[in-house]
Structure 1
């Protein structure tokens, strides 16, 4: 299908274990529903129907999908981190985590909200990506026919052998146009460790998509333990308007004792127990920030799927997508600004999607990223 799809913006929490040392391929793939309609999840105590068509099921804490993970069979939930970084900058604009469904009800204590796909939609058949961004680039350069080469990105990266205990960025939220079935556009942070063939990642940010074939995300894979009863992962967020209102969210992932915690703006959402990882037990070796799209090459040309705002970084504030206040947590547990000179950049196809790194006092180390995708002369 080559028609432009006007998709709802969603908050994305990706959970990718990019090698089967932790879980078998069959298990990592999550719940393969295909075209089967979603049913009410087990442990549902209350169901809330939002005015925008979203259905939220309030599921008992100990019956959430996390506990389908074989390593979490006897896990005791941590309701809050053992320690919370006090120097994490809160520079995101005031986007409330109270989402639209709250107008129709709230989840009780000891439950978490889980977004159910409406009856006229189907859960994508998800699969597990087994390659890092470096391997995707190699595949792209080799043109070996592997469809993973159709993933394109414009990212900044930091580290390479370091030991980072956390990552943070204030991410500009947009609703980019996505073309055709199976495509997506994301803006997120990555924490990475492990050799190329066994790589582990933690990823969080936003997504606009009609995607059907990328790895485990949101609560579709067991392993992420949600503790927040007010935030439904995957539920729609507000987004920026070109040349006008700008919306961003502060996204952080940090290590606290034996877990990696996800924080959005000023609220802890939940955590990944380190027991489910092989290479992220002690820290991350590299931190990535930026955008990624999937190019289905409909009609033999490059996709019209946009990245970021759909405009190039040169257009600047209010028009291009941005990442601000890019920070890392060092081995002492303190957050520090990434120095601009130490932040590398990588764009798979700069004529389609690009990135520009800069720094200033008000927004710290930052960059603009994105682009429109297809054009006959620059991005055929």
Structure 2
């Protein structure tokens, strides 16, 4: 059963089983370990969907209304470190980014993602995907993959906590706790792109498979691409003002980029579906709390002979003096 189609905006939607152009193959392999997802043997005609409890759905809906992103106007207690571009319309964004375990308090959240979005007056359409540690949402301190969207009705939703996202993969869930093999760094390689023929927005784990898509009917500002694309880390402080760590909890070191969190091979699709390094047009650095978090644009390659294209390091320990 495809519960994603229960959304009232999707009454006349025709399901798309695969994107018009696959993005599961990548020219930017950097020889590293991907997220270790469980292979779920779903029978034909079924998909892996995380079992949603009533408590999880309630929390997800409440937190979705408060979800912060770079298009948010006023976000007390939230801090962002990332890079974005809002020069013209874009059809997608893709990146490698490493995944970490962090000690996060119950009233904290820390997440890293790629995203696309458009804003007009007081309206926002937004899609993001990546990894998150959020005890208030998931009920534990583990690291989870996640997807999020905010559409034309002003409402947002995480994962499959409500209808909207159409899950098509039989093996890759949109949301799942991440395993961390001893001694290995774990990476995600995600792509969000607009289908050329249908206008739907697809989420792909590049190199592994297409997970599913957010139908175009959910949005009113993303019909012809997105006017902003980006990547980075975000944290949510507690009511007391204490902010959690971001990335791997370390400030970037320009001389030792492998020691901090990183987004690598960040690429965007332009309005004509041509793929470029993200900095082919002017980019903007977002860093609102330099006391607690840092960001360094990559200026050299490391892990030779593997090149990391356009990349940046980000993160920090957080603390009690990060501002509002």
Compared with structure 1, are the counterparts of its residues 327 and 340 closer, same or farther at alpha carbon in structure 2 (3 Å cutoff)? same
Distance (whole Å) between structure 2 residues aligned to residue 165 and residue 341 of structure 1: 14
Does the Cα contact within 8 Å between 1:337 and 1:364 map onto a contact in 2? yes
Pick closer, same or farther for the CA change 1:187–1:339 going to 2, 3 Å. same
SS in 1 for 2:76: helix
2:135 to 194, 202, 210: 210
Partner residue in 1 for 2:185? 246
For residues 77-123 of structure 1, the C-alpha deviation after alignment (integer angstroms, 9 at most, x for no partner) is 21111123588434262426641xx4xx611111111112589x855
Residue 49 of structure 2 is aligned to residue 114 of structure 1: yes
TM-score, normalised to structure 1's length? 0.70
Contact 1:186 1:292 in 2 (8 A): yes
Q: Partners in 1 of 2:134 and 2:181 — Cα distance?
A: 16
Q: Deviations over 1:271-314 (max 9, x none)?
A: 1111221000110101121011110143xx423x2111011112
1:338 to 260, 272, 278: 278
Matched, 1:264 2:190: no
Give the alignment's Cα RMSD to 1 decimal. 2.9
What TM-score do the two structures reach when normalised by structure 2?
0.81
> Which consecutive residues of structure 1, in runs of 5 or more, have no partner in the other structure?
1-62, 140-147
Structure showing greater radius of gyration is 1
Question: Which digits, 9 at most, give the CA deviation of each residue in 1:46-88, with x for residues without a partner?
Answer: xxxxxxxxxxxxxxxxx33311111212322211111235884
1:190 corresponds in structure 2 to: 115
What's the counterpart of residue 347 of structure 1? Answer: 287
SS at match of 1:152: strand
Q: 2:16 aligns to what SS in structure 1?
A: coil
Match of 1:154 in 2: 81
Q: Who is 1:306 aligned against?
A: 245
What secondary structure is seen at the aligned counterpart in 1 of 2:61? coil
Cα gap change, 1:192 to 1:96, in 2 (>3 Å): closer
Shift of 1:238: 3.2
Q: What CA distance in whole angstroms lies between the structure 1 residues aligned with 2:36 and 2:319?
A: 34
Q: CA deviation at 1:239?
A: 4.2
Is the partner of 1:175 in helix, strand or coil?
Answer: coil
Contact 2:9–2:217 (CA under 8 A) maintained in structure 1: yes
Mapping for residues 1-380 of structure 1, pairs under 5 Å: 63-85=1-23, 88-91=26-29, 93-95=32-34, 98-99=37-38, 102=39, 106-116=41-51, 122-123=56-57, 124-127=59-62, 128-129=65-66, 133-136=70-73, 139=74, 148-160=75-87, 162-181=88-107, 183-212=108-137, 215-239=156-180, 245-256=184-195, 257-258=197-198, 259-266=200-207, 267-298=209-240, 301-303=241-243, 305-314=244-253, 316-339=256-279, 342-360=282-300, 362-374=307-319
SS in 1 for 2:286: strand
- Contact kept? 1:65, 1:220, Cα under 8 Å: no
Q: Following the alignment from structure 2 to structure 1, what is the Cα–Cα distance between the partners of residues 184 and 272?
A: 38
Q: Deviations over 1:218-260 (max 9, x none)?
A: 111321111001012221123488xx53221111011112211
